[in-house]
Amino acid sequence: MRDIGVDDFTYPSVLNCLTSKKDVKIGQSVHCRVIKTGFQGYNLIGNALVDMYAKQGDLSYAFKVFNTILDRDVISWTSAVTGCAHNGSHEEALKLFCKMRNSGVEPDQVITSSILSSCAELALLEFGQQVHANFMKSGLQSSLLVDNSLVTMCANCGCLEEADRVFKSMANRNVITWTALIVGYAQNGKGKESLGLYDQMILSGIKPDFITFIGLLFACSHAGLVDQGCRYFESMINVHGIRPGPDHYACMVDLLGRAGKLLEAEKLLDEMAVEPGATVWKVFLAARRKHGNIDLAKKAASVLFKLTPKDAVPYVMLSNMYSKADKWEDAAAVRKLMKSKCISKEPGYSWLEMNGKVRRFMSEDRSHPKSDQIYLRTSEVMGLIKNAGYVPDVNFALHDINDEGKEQGLAYHSEKLAVAFGLLYVPQGAPIRIYKNLRVCGDCHAAMKLISKMFCRHIILRDSNCFHHFRDGTCSCGDYY
Ligand SMILES: [Zn+2]
Ligand SMILES: [Zn+2]
């Protein structure tokens, strides 16, 4: 076609076909031609280049092009924002969106949906709701894309009532809408509701997809519904023709492991049609840990040491397991091995969104301006629940110090600091929403239950695995975490 000549519509069409990682070289050569033929100043082409580089995973080059676009329209900003989101840089996506608003460009459906998805990832409910309210005020019609992202965001922030309200108000729904709510219910400890919703979806004539089944299997494993989970797994393959991926297997291993069916879990692992990745092995290790089978846990841990050599989780799990079985020397040996390989635990942190601000808490961190007050409140709260029967579980403090020192360390885990902050500043009657980057430890879980009862608060904690709704001394996860 070069002999015929190209125009400013040809390039975007070509660039749109080069968004995969294997297209990096050819993408660059098309970019060279754009420059050589004098088309680099065209918005349409600049936008397509930003989109192409971002989808290929090269954000720095995407921004190099983005910065050369002089008259940026909403599509230029959308390419950059969705590019950030695509690469997991959700904070950057939100910052860009604010910049766009300040530059006077109004958001459309596509960018609004993308921002709501980033808010879902970062659990920024207030911010997302504000973005959506502004979008509705702008007079633009909502779309399936926007509504689906809104349902996902609400469910992902533990706000099921709102997710349900939006879902019911929608005139059109597709498999993404249904799946968003099915997964939302599953993650928020409402397994039976999740399965009920699936039946309704089938009745309404919508076919499930790959992700719907992750939600269903997750719901079954967390609600302890072993037989039903096995039936869904089979129907996924035999009725719906969906090949299970590592996430489905991870749910199945978890389902069988939780029910103590370790041999069946191992059999499934051996028969897997795909290579079991780190996620599956981690679930397998966790199941071993729960049922105290050290030899098989050792096997799972050694596979993980090879698969994810920089990950501290298998080392910590194995070491904790040895400590629990009073095998102190073995526990120390695992920690020594971890130290010799310079592997450190990912620092745990929790965050809370209030009045448009995000407050982040780290274990034993005192950099917060109100930290004296928060620490004082934390120790008061811990004292109060201790009187009500809370016994600190020092198994969760991985330090070689005496019990009192361990207890102090435990008291200042990031989620405990966050809940103390919530008790101080979140009005009574409103839920305290806390988000955590890692899994909640058993000690914090026990403390949260008592705090919810003692202070009559609904505490919602989203950790890296699921949601915990603490109410009146119990948790929605049924203590499976
Ligand atoms: Zn903790
Ligand atoms: Zn829980």
Closest CA to 318 of 276, 341, 288: 288
How many Å lie between the centroid of ligand 2 and the Cα of residue 223? 12
The answer to whether the beta carbons of residues 462 and 435 sit under 8 Å apart is yes
How many Å lie between the centroid of ligand 2 and the Cα of residue 218? 15
Question: What is the residue-wise DSSP string for 388-433?
Answer: TT----GGG--SSS-HHHHHHHHHT-HHHHHHHHHHHHSPTTS-EE
- pLDDT, one tens digit per residue, over 407-429 is 667 788 999 999 999 999 999 99
Question: What is the residue-wise DSSP string for 442-465?
Answer: HHHHHHHHHHHHHTT--EEEE-SS
User: How high is the pLDDT of residue 406?
Assistant: 61
Question: Exposed/middle/buried for 369, CB within 10 Å: 0-12, 13-18, 19+?
Answer: exposed
How many Å lie between the centroid of ligand 1 and the Cα of residue 308? 24
Closest CA to 415 of 452, 458, 356, 360: 360
Ligand closest to 188 (CA) is: 2
How many Å lie between the centroid of ligand 2 and the Cα of residue 379? 22
How many Å lie between the centroid of ligand 1 and the Cα of residue 446? 9
How many Å lie between the centroid of ligand 1 and the Cα of residue 407? 11
How many Å lie between the centroid of ligand 2 and the Cα of residue 92? 31
The answer to whether the beta carbons of residues 243 and 237 sit under 8 Å apart is yes
The pair of structure tokens assigned to 384 is 């109060």
How many Å lie between the centroid of ligand 2 and the Cα of residue 480? 7
- Residues whose Cβ atom is located within 5 A of ion ligand 1: 413, 441, 444
How many Å lie between the centroid of ligand 1 and the Cα of residue 441? 4
Ligand closest to 439 (CA) is: 1
The answer to whether the beta carbons of residues 86 and 55 sit under 8 Å apart is yes
CA dist 225 → 109, 191, 254, 256, 286 (Å): 39, 9, 11, 10, 19
User: How high is the pLDDT of residue 185?
Assistant: 95
Domain boundaries, the chain: 1-105, 284-345, 350-475
State the Cα torsion 440-443-445-450 to the nearest 10°.
-160
User: How high is the pLDDT of residue 109?
Assistant: 95
- pLDDT, one tens digit per residue, over 428-459 is 999 999 999 988 988 999 999 999 999 999 99
Closest CA to 127 of 174, 100, 95, 89: 95
- Residues whose Cβ atom is located within 5 A of ion ligand 2: 468, 475, 477, 481
How many Å lie between the centroid of ligand 2 and the Cα of residue 473? 11
How many Å lie between the centroid of ligand 1 and the Cα of residue 283? 20
List the pLDDT tens digit at each of the 481 positions of the chain: 666 777 778 888 999 899 888 889 999 999 998 888 888 888 889 999 999 999 999 999 999 999 999 889 999 999 999 999 989 999 999 999 999 999 999 999 999 999 999 999 998 999 999 999 999 999 888 899 999 999 999 999 999 999 999 999 999 999 999 999 999 999 998 999 999 999 999 999 999 999 999 999 999 998 889 999 999 999 999 999 999 999 999 999 999 988 888 888 888 888 887 778 888 888 888 877 666 678 778 888 888 888 888 888 889 888 888 887 888 888 889 988 988 988 888 888 999 998 888 999 988 778 878 889 999 999 999 999 999 888 888 766 554 445 555 666 778 899 999 999 999 999 999 999 999 998 898 899 999 999 999 999 999 999 988 899 999 999 998 887 7
Residues in the chain: 481
Instruction: Identify the residue whose tokens are 């297209």.
Output: 23
User: How high is the pLDDT of residue 250?
Assistant: 92
User: How high is the pLDDT of residue 309?
Assistant: 87
Right CATH for 284-345 from 2.30.30, 1.10.10, 1.20.1650, 1.25.40: 1.25.40
H or E element at residue 435: strand 432-436
How many Å lie between the centroid of ligand 2 and the Cα of residue 444? 10
How many Å lie between the centroid of ligand 1 and the Cα of residue 468? 14
How many Å lie between the centroid of ligand 1 and the Cα of residue 184? 24
- pLDDT, one tens digit per residue, over 73-117 is 999 999 999 999 989 999 999 999 999 999 999 999 999 999 999
